[in-house]
Amino acid sequence: MIGLAAGALFALPAGAAAVITGTIPTPAGKPPVKYECDHADFDYVGHLMHLRGNVKIWQGDISVAADEADARGTSQDFKNSHWVFGGKVHVRSESQGDLRADHAIVEITSGELTSAIVTGAPALFEQTRPTAGRLAKGHASSIDYEVGAATVTLTGDAVLNDDHNGEDMHSPSITYNVRTMALEADGGPGGRARMTITPSSGPGKKP
């Protein structure tokens, strides 16, 4: 976690307000980046924040929640900042995608939430598809969510399952687009990607 410099520290105790909230400036026409928590420590000289207790940061329909978070900015407004989240991390992407893990690193660039990398044992991904609520889900050692490209890249013993057609993709690296639902598997140097298709038949067959 990021250390806070003594002597430049301002703490807001949990009893000071029901929920501590803040806003990070964003470009014109973009939804604001907001955050909330139960307790916050601020170092305005070192441009550091430590948030804990029901921490959440969000911009539009993209959000990150965790037990605690540390942020290091290049200025007091945190428009450009590096965030480290820990404890029951839940990243909500666009198009009803969910990532869950132990830790996450989030980048805010020019007031926009641009990327989130989650790691766990394993890190988990799930997307509820708009048609009949079907799922695409997977897991890997690390998952990199690129907001602008709307892609999640699963790396390290990556597995992605499509419960609509019974496909299981296994590969060292899998990139999945949460908008188009297209995927690409990369076997890496000397590696191989493997797909397993489980046929369905009879009355229970999915359309």
DSSP secondary structure string for all residues of 145-184: EETTTTEEEEEEEEEEEETTTTEEEEEEEEEEETTT--EE
Per-residue pLDDT of the chain (207 residues; tens, 9 = 90+): 444 433 344 455 545 557 899 999 998 888 999 999 999 999 989 999 999 999 999 999 899 999 999 999 999 999 999 999 999 999 998 767 899 999 999 999 999 999 999 999 899 999 886 665 668 899 999 999 999 899 999 999 999 987 766 678 899 999 998 888 888 888 766 666 655 544 444 444 444
Mention every residue, 6+ apart, whose C-beta is less than 8 A from residue 32.
23, 24, 25, 26, 59
**Is 123 contained in some domain?**
yes
132: left (phi over 0), alpha (psi -120 to 50) or beta: left
pLDDT of residue 77: 92
Task: Report the domain count for the chain.
Answer: 1
Residue 164 is assigned to a structural domain of this protein: yes
- Give residue 19's pLDDT: 87
Residue 180 located in a structural domain? yes
User: Is 165 contained in some domain?
Assistant: yes
CB neighbour list of residue 187: distance below 8 Å, 6 or more residues apart: 171, 172, 193
* Degrees, nearest 5: CA angle 12-112-145: 100
Residue 70 lies in a domain: yes
The C-alpha angle 77, 19, 85, rounded to 5 degrees, equals 60
Structural domain contains residue 178:
yes
Let me know if residue 44 belongs to a domain: yes
Torsion sign (Cα): 85, 37, 95, 179 = negative
List the CATH number of the domain containing 111.
Answer: 2.60.450.10
Q: Which of 112, 43, 60, 113 is nearest to 85 (CA)?
A: 113
Say how far apart CA 98 and CA 29 lie, in whole Å: 26
Could you give the maximum distance between any two Cα atoms of the chain, in Å? 71
pLDDT of residue 24: 93
* Residue-range definition of the domain harbouring residue 121: 9-199
| 59 falls within a domain | yes
